[in-house]
Structure 1
Amino acid sequence: MFRKNEFVYDEFFDCYLCPQNQPLHFSTINRKGSREYKSTPSICQDCPLRPQCTISKSCQKVVTRHIWQDYLDQVEHLRHTEINRQIYKRRKETIERVFADAKEKHGLRWTNYRSLEKVAVHTMLTFAAINLKKLATWLDKGRKPFFFFAIFE
């Protein structure tokens, strides 16, 4: 079966082109927020690639495209630039590490609480404890955090 990436999207005409260069025109937007592009059954019925394209009895191929796909494509392109690769490497060392520590060392893998409010309080207390541990480490090394001067002087 042909996959979605084997169909070419034409922005100007807002349609997809199948491997036989036949257009799939916009039909509707489904409940999931995707635009549906459908082929013309009379054209697909006589197509030599139909067995590789669709098994539909109506001889119609449907390709979906999310309504925000243009923006998703831009973000995907930016993600592969050199500066964003460096930023992502830095993220692994900073942000993701905090969540990993909270999950592994402070029991945030699961909860014993039943309401959203109680879980939120538990999570906030856990991160407060993590921040206190960081503060203790800073003070032990003789460094003073920037807010230390505002509080104690």
Structure 2
Amino acid sequence: MLAYSDNTACDRNNYVLDFEVCAGNTHDTTSFPSLYNRLITKYEDVENIVVDAGYKIPAIAKMIIETGKNPIMPYKRPMGKKGFIRKNPYDGYVYDEMYDCYICPENEILKYMTTNRDGYKEYKSDNSKCKDCLRLKECTLSKNHTKVITRHVWEEYMEQVEELRHTMGNKELYSLRSQTIERVFADAKEKHGLRYTHYRGGLFY
């Protein structure tokens, strides 16, 4: 197990702009805010922030967008069981922004019920209609035949991220990671002995 984790930011020329060292059991999304705030303070003219999938969460998307920058994030496969209907505007559950509800492929409504402590809004189906649905087994394994869908309160920022991902030029920007930050990490591991920590103890600056 690694003792430390290093979050690093660089520009398109491979110059390291800033970094954040934290405990190895600290998730990248926890250490991101302090690193990001220092970056935008020192480099105000930066327009695009390219990050990997580990940073693709609503809180980070919201932070970047609200500071006037463009978050460039990769595609992540939808989570869920294979063969089940997913949240998908083409053939799955569709969100209706005006009425704040979801519509299932059979045109039934999943109404908003509550918001849980993790910041997710819960939408539930009418089990009296679901129990006789021919697609029930593709929808839920719930014993009471109720389908529950969750949506983060900041989900609209993730939708903006997806729009940006399909914007011309942004895919090319993300592909530069292999020539920039990935090379920074490769050099740190191969040339500076940072593949793993040799000692455990305090950090001194």
TM-score under structure 1 normalisation? Answer: 0.66
Paired residue total? 119
1:73-98 alpha-carbon deviations (Å, 9 max, x no partner)? 11122123222233223343223311
**Residue number among 87, 93, 102 corresponding to 1:4 in the alignment:** 87
Q: Which has the higher contact order (CA 8 A, sep 6+)?
A: 2
1:109 shift after superposition: 2.4
**Residue number among 138, 154, 170 corresponding to 1:84 in the alignment:** 170
Of Structure 1 and Structure 2, the greater helix share is in 1
Report the Cα distance in structure 1 between the residues aligned to 2:137 and 2:176, rounded to whole angstroms.
48
Q: Structure 2: which 5+ runs fail to align?
A: 1-83
> Corresponding residue for 1:24?
110
Report the Cα distance in structure 1 between the residues aligned to 2:156 and 2:193, rounded to whole angstroms.
40
1:107 shift after superposition: 2.4
1:55 maps to 2:141: yes
Q: Structure 1: which 5+ runs fail to align?
A: 125-153
Report the Cα distance in structure 2 between the residues aligned to 1:86 and 1:47, rounded to whole angstroms.
44
1:55-81 alpha-carbon deviations (Å, 9 max, x no partner)? 211110011122222111111221232
> Corresponding residue for 2:75?
none
Report the Cα distance in structure 2 between the residues aligned to 1:36 and 1:29, rounded to whole angstroms.
6
| Structural mapping, 1:1-153, within 5 Å | 1-5=84-88, 6-115=92-201, 117-118=202-203, 121=204
Counterpart amino acid of residue 87 in structure 1: L
Report the Cα distance in structure 2 between the residues aligned to 1:9 and 1:74, rounded to whole angstroms.
15
Counterpart amino acid of residue 86 in structure 1: E
TM-score under structure 2 normalisation? Answer: 0.51
> Corresponding residue for 1:141?
none
Percentage of pairs with the same residue:
55
Report the Cα distance in structure 2 between the residues aligned to 1:51 and 1:91, rounded to whole angstroms.
41
Of Structure 1 and Structure 2, the greater strand share is in 2
Q: How large is the RMSD of aligned CA atoms in angstroms?
A: 2.1
Which one has a bigger Cα radius of gyration? 1
Counterpart amino acid of residue 95 in structure 2: Y
